[in-house]
């Protein structure tokens, strides 16, 4: 009864993550909001809103989604704003962060006139992210203002916004706080808030939650007038669901067996090709470890639409299900309709173990995407 391919979110696992995040928020005295760039499954917002008070958005569409379907606080940040969209963004947002001094000079007057609390994104230039593609804090990063550019705060700035982590540890969060204080702490007396961004993967197994709480609590004690906000993306939906796919064909080429699936790395799991990233497959192991090894191939015509090589204890046959784990954060929001391949359906497994199919996609979705 479940369509294939299909993303399935577990309500119980989502609530487990949100309960832990709520404890961090309560024990540290900080605010934690949902980063829509990592998890924008609005059918789950009624659950998330029970725990979190707002969202961070980076575009008009995200800001409107946050305002209309989530409500609560909306913190806006984008690397660059456009003249066309910014007036609407102002009406949708509570706080607005600017990526550069030139963006501040161009747009801040509109935001301040509307009574919005404005801030600057800064770059602490720390190296806590191994994969260069996802490291926002390198010395040549286009994201944020470094300390050499910010000798003094422009009039009207009420906050600083930093995002320097990606699926990082509590130790990384602690080092981020230390770097922020060292390089930008002399500005804190003039501020009302700090946004410590995302990448704080507090729901990962063996994450040192108490260290994070202590680091955040210490920051608040040193600067009690500052409102401290975090906006994790991955931590909200970490390990909360999977992507079900089906084997359509099994072929042999050049001495390897290839299982053709009804999903795609290119269209549905782009991090596989961008990072590269290797998703976990339920019941599978690395190539050669189990008896039967297959290359899992995607459905598009792109030659490189390859998910990876995996081994299984039994042969794969047409019609078998292949389940990719931990597919709900970031993966869902990056899917495309490339090549017109069938987009995965979206479903929620509720606490009573009933699976509700929220959305299936068809030709009209493809047509409207390209009209």
CB atoms within 10 A of CB 254: 6
**What's the farthest any 2 CA atoms get from each other in the chain?**
67
What number is the average pLDDT over the span 336-357? 96
Band of the pLDDT at 75, cuts 50, 70, 90? Answer: very high
- For residue 132, the surrounding DSSP H or E stretch is none
- For the chain, state the CA radius of gyration: 22
Mean pLDDT taken over the chain:
96
Q: Is residue 4 part of a domain?
A: no
**Does pLDDT of 337 surpass 90?**
yes
pLDDT of residue 369: 85
As a whole number of angstroms, the distance between CA 105 and CA 83 comes to 13
pLDDT of residue 132: 86
Q: Is residue 6 part of a domain?
A: no
What number is the average pLDDT over the span 58-75? 97
Q: What is the pLDDT of residues 156-169, one digit of tens each?
A: 999 999 999 999 99
What number is the average pLDDT over the span 191-213? 98
* pTM beyond cutoff 0.85: yes
Residue 296: CATH number of its domain: 2.40.37.10
**Does pLDDT of 371 surpass 90?**
no
276: left (phi over 0), alpha (psi -120 to 50) or beta: beta
Instruction: Please report the beta strands in the chain, taking only residues with DSSP state E, as ranges in sequence order.
Output: 6-10, 31-32, 34-35, 54-57, 73-77, 95-98, 117-122, 157-162, 193-195, 227-230, 241-253, 256-261, 292-297, 306-312, 321-325, 345-349, 355-359
In the chain, pLDDT over 70 holds for what percent of residues? 100
Which one of 183, 206, 237 terminates a domain?
Answer: 237
Q: Which domain holds residue 185?
A: 11-237
Within this chain, do residues 205 and 115 fall inside the same structural domain, yes or no? yes
135, two tokens: 């490291």
Number of independent structural domains in the chain:
2
Of 8-12, 96-100, 276-280, 341-345, which range is least confident? 276-280
């Amino acid at each position: 009864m479940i369509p294939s391919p299909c993303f399935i979110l577990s309500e119980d696992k989502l609530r487990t993550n949100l309960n832990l995040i709520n404890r961090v928020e309560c024990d540290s005295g900080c605010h934690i909001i949902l980063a829509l760039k990592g998890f924008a499954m609005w059918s789950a917002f009624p659950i998330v809103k029970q725990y979190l008070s707002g969202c961070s958005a980076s575009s008009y569409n995200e800001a409107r989604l946050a305002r209309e379907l989530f409500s609560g606080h909306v913190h806006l940040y984008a690397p660059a704003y456009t003249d066309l969209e910014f007036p609407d963004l102002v009406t949708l947002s509570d706080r607005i962060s600017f990526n550069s001094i030139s963006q501040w000079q161009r747009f801040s007057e509109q935001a301040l006139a509307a009574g919005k609390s404005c801030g600057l994104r800064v770059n602490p230039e720390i190296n806590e992210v191994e994969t260069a593609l996802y490291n926002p804090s390198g010395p040549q990063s286009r994201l944020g203002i470094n300390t050499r550019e910010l000798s003094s705060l422009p009039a009207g700035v009420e906050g600083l916004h930093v995002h320097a982590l990606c699926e990082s540890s509590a130790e990384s969060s602690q080092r981020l706080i230390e770097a922020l204080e060292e390089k930008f702490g002399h500005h804190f007396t003039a501020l009302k808030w700090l946004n410590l961004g995302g990448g704080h993967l507090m729901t990962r197994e063996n994450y040192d939650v108490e260290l994070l709480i202590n680091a955040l609590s210490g920051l608040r004690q040193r600067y009690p007038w500052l409102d401290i906000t975090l906006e994790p993306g991955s931590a909200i939906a970490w390990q909360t669901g999977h992507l079900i796919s089906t084997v359509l064909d099994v072929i042999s080429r050049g001495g390897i067996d290839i299982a053709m699936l009804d999903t795609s790395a290119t269209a549905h799991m782009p991090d596989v090709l961008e990072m590269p990233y290797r998703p976990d497959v339920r019941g599978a192991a690395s190539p050669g470890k189990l008896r039967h090894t297959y290359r899992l191939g995607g459905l598009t015509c792109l030659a490189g639409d390859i998910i990876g090589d995996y081994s299984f204890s039994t042969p794969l046959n047409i019609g078998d299900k292949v389940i990719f784990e931990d597919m709900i954060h970031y993966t869902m929001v990056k899917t495309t309709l490339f090549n017109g391949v069938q987009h995965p359906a979206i479903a929620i497994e509720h606490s009573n173990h009933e699976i509700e199919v929220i959305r299936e996609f068809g030709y009209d979705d493809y047509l409207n995407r390209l009209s």
